[in-house]
Amino acid sequence: MRGPHNIWRLVRTGATFERTGAMRDVLDAMDAPRPLRLAARLLGWPFKWLGYKGDEAMPPITRALSALGPAYIKFGQILSTRPDVVGADMALQLRVLQDKLPPFSVAAAKEAVQVELGESADSIFTSFSEPVAAASIAQVHRAELAETGEVVAVKVLRPGIERAFQKDIDAFYLAARMIELLSPSSRRLRPMDVIKHFEGVVQGELDLRLEAASASEFAANTEKDEGFQLPAVKWKFSGRRVMTQSWAEGVPLGDNAALDAAGHDRVVLGHRVLQLFLSHALRDGFFHADMHQGNLKVAANGDIIALDFGIMGHIDEYTRRVYAEILFGFIRRDYKRVAQVHFEAGYVPADRDVDEFARALRAVGEPIFGMDATRISMGRLLNYLFEVTERFGMQTRTELILLQRTMVVVEGVARSLDPHINIWDVARPIVEDYIKTSIGPRAVMQDLMKTAIVLGRFGPRLPDMVEAALMRQTTDAEKETPSKSGRWLFFGAGLTLGAGIALITLF
C-alpha cells in the first residue's frame, strides 16, 4: 500500500499540526535539528489551509492528533509510553489523550457478529444494547447469551479499521525514514523501530483473538491472586473481529465518591493495585500495560477487576531479575550494587567507569529519598535513571520503557485512592519476596533443573555433535589451518557433555 497517498497523508498531517499550533511543540520536544524543522515547515506551512481544525478547547498536540483520526490517536497513546523519544513533558501531555470516537451503528455491529461467528446476532443473543463504550479501534455492547442467559460484553472492531490503520502506518514509516535521513542524531532513538513497535501493538489490537489469548493467559497467571478478578473469555462467541467476555459489574476505580458510598476502603485498594502490578511484572513477566482508572473496576466484594487487554507488557526472566535487583538496590540505597548490576547485564558499555556511574546514580537517588515518604515516586526514579543511563551510553530498551510508563500510571491510580501512600513501603515486600525466590540458592537449583531438562532433550544428539566436532578438528589439523569455529564447537560440545554428566550425577 506504499504509494503517493503517503506523501499526501504527510502533507495533511503537517498542515494540521501547523493549523493547530502543535508543530513547534513537537519539534521542540524532539529537539529537532534545523534540516528537520525546515522539512516539517515545508510539509505544513504552505498547505496550512488543508489541515484539520480540531477541537480548539484541547491543547495543541492532543487537538492535532484527535483531528487526524484513530491511527494518530493510538500513535499518540503509544508515544506517551516513550519519554525517551518525545521527552517527559510531551509524554505527560499525550498520556491524557482520549480515544473516544462517535459509535458506529448497532446494525453494523450485528453484521460483524454474523460474518465473524457464522450466526445472526439475534440467534446468539437475546438482547444487544447500544454501544456502552466507543474507542478508536472498537466499541463494546452489553448483551445476553441466548443459551445460558448470562450477561456478557461484546467487543466489535470498527468497520474498515484495518485498512485505515495500514494506510497511516505506511505514512508513518515514510516519516521515520525522512527523520533518520534529515537528523542522523535521531537514529539513536531508532525511529523505524518505534514505528515497528507501534505496528506490532496495533496489529495485536486489530485481531481480537490475540487480545482474548492475552486475557486468557493473564487469567491463568493470576487465578490465585487474592482481591483480583478478570472477565472470562467466551471463546465460542469470539473471533478475529468480535470478542465476547463475561460482564464485569463494579464501581469505576476513578470514582472516589462512588467507592466511598459503596463502603470500599480506598487505602486498601491503593495498596492492592500497586502490589498486584508489581507481582504481575516481577513474578509472571506479563502485566497489564494500560492500567488507568478507565480499565479498572471494584466488585461488590472489594476485588479489583481489570478490563481491556489490548496492550500487555512482557519481560523475560533475566530482565526481571535485573529490574528487581535495581529496585532493591535503590530501596537499600546501595548505589554501587545498582551500578554493578547495570554493567553485569550489559546495559552500560564495559569501558565506562563503574564508580563514576555509581556516583551518578547516587545523585539520582538521594534527592528522592530526601523527600517526604508520601512523595517518593518509583516512576520518577525510573525516569531519572533512564536519563542517567542514556548519558552513559545505555541503549533504549522498549520493554523497560513500557514498564516505567505503566509504573507511573499505576502510581497515579494508587495516589488518587490514597494521597498519603508510601510507595516504597508498599513495594518492598513484593520486591523482597521476588528476590528471595529468584536470586539465591533456590533460584540456582531451579536454573540447574531447567538446564538438565534442556540437556536431556538434546542428549541423543550429543555423541553426533562431539563426533562432528572431532572430525572437523582433525580435518583442520591436516590442513594446518585450525578452524576457530571448529575449536569453539569442540569446546562447546565438551562443555555441554561435561555439564550433562555433572547434572546427571547431581540429580
Displacement of CA 96 from its chain's centroid (Å): 17
Written as one letter, the residue type at 358 is A
Rounded-to-integer distance, Cα 375 and Cα 409, Å:
15
Q: Looking at 290, 303, 447, 476, which residue is catalytic?
A: 290
Query: In Å, what is the CA distance from 128 to each residue of 81, 140, 145, 200?
Result: 35, 10, 9, 32
Please tell me what DSSP assigns to residue 230: -
Rounded-to-integer distance, Cα 435 and Cα 443, Å:
9
Rounded-to-integer distance, Cα 489 and Cα 498, Å:
14
Rounded-to-integer distance, Cα 78 and Cα 290, Å:
10
Phi, psi of 244 (to 5 degrees): -115, 130
Query: In Å, what is the CA distance from 304 to each residue of 226, 248, 468?
Result: 9, 10, 58
Pairing of strands 228-229, 138-145: unpaired
Please tell me what DSSP assigns to residue 233: B
Displacement of CA 222 from its chain's centroid (Å): 18
Please tell me what DSSP assigns to residue 21: T
154 grid coordinates: 461484546
Is the dihedral angle over the CA atoms 385, 389, 391, 394 positive or is it negative?
negative
For the chain, how many helices (H) and strands (E)?
23, 10
Rounded-to-integer distance, Cα 75 and Cα 90, Å:
13
* Largest separation between any pair of C-alpha atoms in the chain: 86
Rounded-to-integer distance, Cα 201 and Cα 75, Å:
10
Three-state secondary-structure class, residue 160:
coil
Please tell me what DSSP assigns to residue 283: I
Query: E-strand spans in 382-458?
Result: none
168 belongs to the catalytic site: no
Instruction: Give ∠ CA 268-272-274 in degrees, rounded to 5.
Output: 125
Q: Which residues does 273 contact at the CB level (< 8 Å), separation at least 6?
A: 253, 291, 296, 304, 410, 413, 414, 417
Catalytic positions are: 290
